[in-house]
Amino acid sequence: MPAADKSKPRKLVPLLLDWFAINARDLPWRRTHDPYAIWVSEIMLQQTQVKTVIPFWNRWMTELPTIADAANASPDKLHKLWEGLGYYTRVRNLQKAAQAIVAQHDGKFPESFDDVLALTGIGRYTAGAICSIAFNHPAPILDGNVIRVLTRIFGIAENPKEKATNAWLWQLAEELVTHAKDAKTAKAFSPSRPWRSLREENACSFLNQSLMELGALICTPRSPQCLVCPVKKLCVAFKENRTEELPNLGKREAATARHFTAFVIEHNGKFLVQQRPAGVVNAHLWEFPNFETNGSPMKPGDLFKAQFKASAPELVPLCTVKHSITRYRITLQAFHLRVKNTALKTTGTWFSPAELDALAFSSAHKKLASAAAKSILSDR
Ligand code: SF4
């Protein structure tokens, strides 16, 4: 770090703390110190926006209010509660970790950083977030938002994924949260909003959350609102007009297009669906039979014959769903067809639309299930 920057972390802390105490959004998980509730929110917030997470978090905490509830929930219930959030490995890891807490910590969420980090699905960022927010430990955090804020404030032009730069950013995050522990914080106490009143016992929590919040609300990837930013006087990117070039994330990997054909097969008002096995993407979720068709000239009817060893009745285009998973841009084209009997060469279970409603689907196949239910209704 350049010599001139040595005192900067200490100067930033009161600015960030005071700004957060006044501007923090009122989010449901900010009204609690329960480490389990904070943990659930942090896992849900990975790859997912705050406004999407709120109803999922509320529903989860109502249905599974304790660690023991999460540890003992059936896989069907867990996946249904997570349906629509995506990245389902998160919920399976969450349950594994809940079971470990029950087995190894008598069901009480551990307070030590190392014990938290040892839990399945919890990395350095999440362990730091839980330990600082729930227990006010001076544990640093570094995610995409914090990287953006720190690289801009400190004018760090190197790629944050590089080992040395990443270590430097962690060190800055640690200095900030450590200074917060000693900050004199009585100034921002607000009796009318006790959940966001800044006090000594939540200064580390607030400092880490202020970095996340600044990245989410002010120091956004595009068009950051520097003029209303509490740290603009100390920010290199603002002073040198470099907000567009920081952070330097290098070249993005090109997206790959993938095409699938799905068959929404109906017999007497029931639909054939299959459950994905363990160990694959979207394990345990339900889906309509579907096949990857990238570049294949095969027509849908011929594909049906080849896959099900049966002649295809009339195929009616049902819908096309486009979505992205990591670097894949996926197009799923669905066809509806009615069969006279269920003797198809495939596995799966036949369910009515009401029964489908109770199963957990990926977002794309949930749309197919809704379209299938509508197709039945429109026939009546
Ligand atoms: S001044 Fe602008 S670039 Fe700097 S931290 Fe604030 S919003 Fe981000």
Residue type (1 letter), 343: A
Q: Say yes or no: CB of residue 237 within 6 Å of ligand 1.
A: yes
Residue 220 predicted with pLDDT over 70: yes
Q: Is 94 exposed, middle or buried (0-12, 13-18, 19+ CB in 10 A)?
A: buried
Cβ atoms < 10 Å from Cβ of 217: 17
Q: pLDDT value at position 201? A: 76
pTM of the entire structure? 0.88
What average pLDDT score do residues 208-217 get? 97
**Cα–Cα distance for residue pair 6/258, rounded to 1 Å:** 49
Q: Helix or strand or coil: residue 169?
A: helix
Fold of 256-379: Nucleoside Triphosphate Pyrophosphohydrolase (3.90.79)
**Cα–Cα dist 142/151, whole Å:** 11
pLDDT for residue 4 is more than 60: no
Tell me whether strands 256-267 and 349-351 are parallel, antiparallel or unpaired: unpaired
Q: Which residues of 236-250 are buried (b: 16+ CB within 10 A; e: fewer)?
A: bbbeeebbeebbeee
Between 173 and 282, the more confident residue is 173
pLDDT band at 187 (very low <50, low <70, confident <90, very high): low
- Which range among 113-117, 140-144, 260-264, 276-280 shows the weakest confidence by mean pLDDT? 276-280
What is residue 221's predicted lDDT score, i.e. its pLDDT? 96
Atom number of ligand 1 nearest to Cα 229? 6
Verify whether ligand 1 is closer than 6 Å to residue 235 (CB atom).
yes
Q: Which of 4, 2, 9 is nearest to 175 (CA)?
A: 9
Ligand 1 center from residue 219 Cα (angstroms): 5
Task: For residues 75 and 79, give the distance between their C-alpha atoms in angstroms, rounded to a whole number.
Answer: 6
* Range in 18-22, 42-46, 259-263 with the lowest mean pLDDT: 18-22
Residue 217 is predicted with a pLDDT of 97
Q: Does residue 198's CB lie within 6 angstroms of at least one atom of ligand 1?
A: no
171 — pLDDT class (breaks 50, 70, 90): very high
Q: How far apart are the C-alpha atoms of 19 and 239, rounded to whole Å?
A: 20
- Extents of the domains making up the chain: 3-239, 256-379
Of ligand 1's atoms, which has the minimum distance to the CA of residue 148? 8
pLDDT tier for residue 196 given thresholds of 50, 70 and 90:
low
Centre of ligand 1 to C-alpha 19, Å, is 13
Instruction: Report CA(229)–ligand 1 centroid distance (Å).
Output: 6
Contact 198, 188 (CB under 8 A): yes
pLDDT score recorded for residue 233 = 97
Q: How far is the CA of 344 from the centre of ligand 1 (A)?
A: 60
**Predicted confidence band at 186 (pLDDT cuts at 50, 70, 90)?**
very low
42 catalytic? Reply is yes
Q: Is 154's C-beta closer than 6 angstroms to any atom of ligand 1? A: no
Is the CB of residue 152 below 6 angstroms from any atom belonging to ligand 1?
Answer: yes
Q: What is the pLDDT of residue 241?
A: 97
Fold category of 3-239 in CATH = Endonuclease III; domain 1 (1.10.340)
Q: 236 CB under 6 A from ligand 1?
A: no
Using an 8 Å Cβ cutoff, are 238 and 173 in contact?
no
- Whether the per-residue pLDDT at 72 is higher than 50: the answer is yes
Confidence bin at 341 (pLDDT 50/70/90): confident
Q: Which of 205, 195, 188, 315 is nearest to 264 (CA)?
A: 315
| Equal CATH topology for 3-239 and 256-379 | no
- Dump pLDDT digits (tens) for 86-125: 999 999 999 999 999 999 999 999 999 999 999 999 999 9
More confident residue, 1 or 344: 344
User: Which residue, chain included where needed, has tokens 């009615």?
Assistant: 338
- The answer for 340, left when phi > 0, alpha when psi is -120 to 50, beta otherwise, is alpha
Output the pLDDT for position 342: 81
> Strand, coil or helix: what is 129?
helix
